[in-house]
Structure 1
Amino acid sequence: MKLFAHRGVMAHHPENTMTAFRAALDAQSDGIEADVHMTKDGKLVLIHDETIDRTTDGHGQVATMGLSDLRRVNAGVKFEVEEKIPTLEELLELCRGTSLRLNLEVKTDIERYPGIEERLIDVIVNQRLPVEQVVFSSFNHTTLNRLNQLAPEFECAVLLAQPLYDLAAYCEKIGATAVHPHVRTLTDDEILQLHQVGLVVRPYTVKTVPDLERFRRLGVDAVFVNDIEWAKAYSTP
């Protein structure tokens, strides 16, 4: 069972920052999960929310701000350190030449960001990151379908907070080959059924030892965790 660092090692560093991502690399995580938004000048930035209010010392919506505006705020304020909101290019540069899988959650479920799918593909291709190193996920499954139509060579994963009827057929329809369910969304039998039809399963966000043990027993492909070292300590058989 592989371990993906959720927003980097956010248990000990400001989430979605280069320090958190470097900590995931240093901890030898199998993958990194990051959240992608688009600025008003078309730049792809890594931050969880549609606004910068919760995670920085600034205020405003990402969609109405340029990259230069976002670079002036401190994304490390909750940890009393100085951090910048990173661009996607910076994370791609960190991951290039490593074995890390990069899960990019495209945050179009509230703010649609017209053209973000094309921009994502362009940036990744221009940065020359291997296709097999990238996974796209989103709660907006229309975005996943668009990404699949634009570049079917990339893996797409359905993010789920609630159960969905005939999930395997649904994934086939939109072009997804993986499912990223909340830890309580799917039963054991449902997870096993998804594996039987060849779908990859990576639950989020695992924070307890019983959940780690459950998913290891079920043989899921990976889990998302906030603390890689903690997960490693309790994931060793």
Structure 2
Amino acid sequence: MKVIAHRGLSSRFPELTESAFRAALELPIHGIETDVRLTKCGEVVNVHDPIVDRVSNGRGRVSRLDLESLLSLNFGTKEVPEKVLTLNNLLDIFEDYPDKHLYIETKHPMRYAVMLEEEITKILKYRGLLEDPRIHIISFALPAMYRMARLAPQLDRIHLRRSWERWGNPRDVRCGVPTGLGLSLERAKLEPKIIGAKGLPTYLFTVDKQKDMLWARDQGVDMLATNYPDRAAELLNADEEPDMYANAHGKEE
């Protein structure tokens, strides 16, 4: 099972910052996950929320701020300030780790809609990554899957499904011909039979408890996104002795 660091090593460093990504990329894991949005001036930046209030010392909506304004904010801590990363910044870091994979989640809904996928495609094309098997596009938005299938059909595309979709979209109606399907831990536990549905690999999010990591492995999950990739790497790479398995089930951190 492939371990993916959700927003970098976000359990120990401010999410989606250089320190979080570099720490995660140093781990013996498969890769990292990031969330991207588009600024007012058209830059693709690594920010999860539509507003910056939670993750910085500033305020405002990402789509209404330009890059200069975002760069004036602190996305780190008081002791170790950090600037917002653009997708290009992250890809510069990524170049130092040729054995790792990058999962880029496009965040929707947003005011610029199709422009986000278009800008991502331009960046990847410029950097020669449009056919790189280490690059994966993921999104909850079905239109985003369709757009990426048209703009960059060679790239891996994973459609993330929310827990409520078992009622709102029980047949997994989808467009964009995804190459993988994402699944929340909650829904996977309710319906384990849909792990590996349609013969496609399963991306499971967000798995932080040790007993759930082992459960996911035993269920045949292909990719596991976690805020604790260091713990996951240690647990899943360890020898599977009975006492280790019992300890993992008896203690959750």
The TM-score, its normalising length taken from structure 2, stands at 0.86
Deviates more, 1:112-121 or 1:40-49: 112-121
Shift of 1:112: 4.4
Give matches, 1:1-237, under 5 Å.
1-77=1-77, 80-96=79-95, 98-129=98-129, 130-162=131-163, 163=166, 164-167=169-172, 170-171=173-174, 173-186=175-188, 187-192=191-196, 194=197, 197-235=198-236, 236=238, 237=240
Amino acid at match of 1:166: R
Shift of 1:29: 2.2
- Inter-partner Cα distance in structure 1 for 2:211 and 2:204: 14
- Inter-partner Cα distance in structure 2 for 1:188 and 1:108: 27
Shift of 1:81: 2.0
- Inter-partner Cα distance in structure 1 for 2:153 and 2:41: 27
The superposition leaves residues 198-217 of structure 1 with CA deviations (integer Å, 9 ceiling, x where unpaired) of: 20101001011121111110
Root-mean-square deviation (Å): 1.6
2:29, 2:233 within 8 Å by CA — same for their partners in 1?
no
1:31, 1:101 within 8 Å by CA — same for their partners in 2?
yes
The TM-score, its normalising length taken from structure 1, stands at 0.92
Amino acid at match of 1:209: Q
2:160, 2:181 within 8 Å by CA — same for their partners in 1?
yes
The superposition leaves residues 164-216 of structure 1 with CA deviations (integer Å, 9 ceiling, x where unpaired) of: 3223xx34x43111111110113221114x1xx32010100101112111111
1:38, 1:113 within 8 Å by CA — same for their partners in 2?
no
Count of aligned pairs: 230
Structure 2: gaps of 5 or more residues:
241-253
1:4, 1:223 within 8 Å by CA — same for their partners in 2?
yes
Larger radius of gyration: 2
Shift of 1:104: 0.5
Structure 1: gaps of 5 or more residues:
none
- Inter-partner Cα distance in structure 1 for 2:230 and 2:63: 35
Among all aligned residue pairs of Structure 1 and Structure 2, give the percentage whose two residues are the same amino acid: 30
